[in-house]
């Protein structure tokens, strides 16, 4: 069950990242959050309750969302020449600034 929870969390985290970066698309983002809520509530209060699986889902969603940022922000003009881990760090700390400066002239 824990492996399935981890795979589910990675998939939903990737969906959340791709629906919110570099620009936010509201409908896919809301759908991803609904799927996440259903998945966590099912693992915690479902037929076979497993609070551990809920925590695994939450952790893997966060990890996938952060790690996908390194790929999604590679074409940002302000991040030219930055490596993958540097983009992950910058995107996790200031995605709102990256969104504001995405289409600004250099």
Which pLDDT tens digit goes with each residue over 14-60? 999 999 888 888 999 999 999 999 988 888 887 888 888 888 999 99
Task: Evaluate whether 66 touches 92 at the Cβ level (below 8 Å).
Answer: yes
Q: Which domain holds residue 56?
A: 2-100
Q: Work out how many domains the chain is built from and give that number.
A: 1
Q: Per the domain annotation, does 31 fall within a domain?
A: yes
Q: Per the domain annotation, does 85 fall within a domain?
A: yes
Q: Per the domain annotation, does 61 fall within a domain?
A: yes
Q: Per the domain annotation, does 22 fall within a domain?
A: yes
pTM assigned to the model: 0.82
d(CA 33, CA 41): 12
* DSSP reduced 3-state for 5: helix
Q: Per the domain annotation, does 105 fall within a domain?
A: no
Q: Per the domain annotation, does 50 fall within a domain?
A: yes
Q: Per the domain annotation, does 64 fall within a domain?
A: yes
Q: Per the domain annotation, does 106 fall within a domain?
A: no
d(CA 71, CA 21): 10
Q: What is the pLDDT of residues 65-92, one digit of tens each?
A: 999 988 888 888 888 888 999 989 988 8
């Amino acid at each position: 069950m824990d492996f399935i929870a981890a795979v589910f969390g990675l998939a939903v985290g990737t969906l959340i990242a791709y629906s919110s970066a570099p620009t936010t698309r509201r409908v896919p983002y809301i759908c991803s959050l609904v799927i996440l809520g259903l998945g966590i509530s099912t693992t915690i209060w479902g037929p076979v309750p497993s609070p551990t699986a809920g925590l695994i889902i939450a952790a893997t969603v966060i990890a996938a969302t952060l790690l996908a940022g390194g790929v999604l922000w590679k074409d940002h003009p302000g991040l030219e020449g930055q490596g993958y881990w540097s983009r992950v760090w910058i995107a996790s700390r200031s995605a709102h600034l990256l969104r504001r400066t995405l289409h600004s002239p250099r």
